[in-house]
């Protein structure tokens, strides 16, 4: 079996004295894992950093084997190491993908969204809201997508204020009634009439990542890297700039 193309590094794990087991995200084949002989050397360490683009060839005798990578650099993303926020971002993205996606199950739209997000982080752009919508895309690609376009009770598209924590459907303020305290607030950032910001929006996606992806799909807690990123993105700025 053989595959070749470009991919972004997700994770690497030391294997023996000189090799690493590399997990990469490809558009055409999804996540692929393989052994990189000599991958633990100092010369290759920078090339195999999570988030970097590499050109590789994967070979295995049988399809279900780990296989071996031959690797060449394609495009580095040095900005991913430029600061604590950027590093937290790439760590969360790569950890969630390695956690959530089965091997060799292609998700081209998610791969495209991931590459665009990593490029924004690398460029030092304002990427927090893009990350939020990337989490929405991740849920959708895994079959856990939220329907926030209309009220689950009335079908109305106006006045949406809540999300059902069970169905993932939007609920209008009028339809919620006495059930409102049991629902999740739907902030404007996700199409609701609420005033909540990024923290409230990430609380919504976080709820469904935890209850649908972690509990139902993976059966284990979410990677801690996600919580660390959310803490950084939603931290209040210090008063008076101090």
Q: List, for residues 192-210, the tens digit of each pLDDT value.
A: 987 789 999 999 999 999 9
Residue 11 CB coordination number (10 Å): 19
Rounded mean pLDDT, 104-133: 97
Q: Which residue has the tokens 């999740």?
A: 184
| DSSP E strand boundaries for the chain | 2-15, 19-26, 30-36, 53-59, 68-75, 147-151, 160-163, 169-172, 184-185
CA angle 17, 88, 71 (to 5 degrees): 40
**Is the pLDDT at 130 greater than 90, yes or no?**
yes
Q: What pLDDT, in 10s, does the model give residues 5-18?
A: 999 999 999 998 89
- Across 213-235, b (16+ Cβ under 10 Å) vs e yields bbeeeeeeebbebbebbbeebee
Euclidean distance between CA atoms 135 and 198, whole angstroms: 13
Determine contact, residues 198/189, Cβ cutoff 8 Å: yes
Q: Which pLDDT score is estimated for 69?
A: 94
- Its pTM stands at 0.92
Residue 163 CB coordination number (10 Å): 25
Residue 67: which region, alpha, beta or left (left: phi > 0; alpha: psi -120 to 50)?
left
Determine contact, residues 106/68, Cβ cutoff 8 Å: no
Lowest mean pLDDT: which of 63-72, 116-125, 183-192? 63-72
Lowest mean pLDDT: which of 67-71, 143-147, 190-194? 190-194
Strand arrangement of the beta sheet that strand 184-185 belongs to: 147-151, 169-172, 160-163, 184-185
Determine contact, residues 199/234, Cβ cutoff 8 Å: yes
């Amino acid at each position: 079996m053989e595959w070749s193309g470009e991919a972004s590094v997700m994770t690497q794990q030391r294997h023996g004295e000189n090799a690493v087991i590399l997990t990469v995200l490809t558009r055409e084949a999804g996540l692929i894992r393989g052994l990189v002989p000599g991958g633990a050397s100092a010369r290759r360490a920078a090339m195999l950093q999570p988030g970097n683009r590499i050109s590789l060839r994967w070979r295995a005798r049988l399809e279900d084997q780990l296989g071996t990578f031959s690797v060449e650099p394609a495009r580095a993303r040095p900005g991913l190491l430029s600061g604590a926020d950027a590093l937290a971002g790439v760590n969360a993205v790569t950890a969630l993908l390695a956690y959530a996606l089965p091997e060799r199950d292609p998700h081209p739209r998610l791969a495209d969204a991931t590459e665009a997000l990593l490029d924004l982080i690398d460029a030092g752009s304002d990427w927090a809201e893009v990350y939020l919508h990337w989490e929405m895309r991740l849920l959708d690609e895994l079959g856990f997508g939220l329907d926030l376009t209309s009220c689950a009770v009335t079908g109305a598209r106006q006045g949406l204020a809540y999300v059902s924590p069970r169905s993932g459907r939007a609920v209008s303020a009028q339809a919620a009634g006495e059930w409102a305290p049991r629902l999740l607030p739907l902030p404007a950032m996700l199409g609701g009439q609420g005033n909540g910001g990024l923290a409230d929006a990430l609380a919504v996606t976080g709820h469904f990542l935890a209850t649908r992806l972690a509990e139902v799909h993976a059966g284990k807690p979410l990677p801690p890297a996600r919580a660390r990123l959310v803490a950084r993105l939603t931290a209040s700025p210090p008063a008076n700039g101090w």
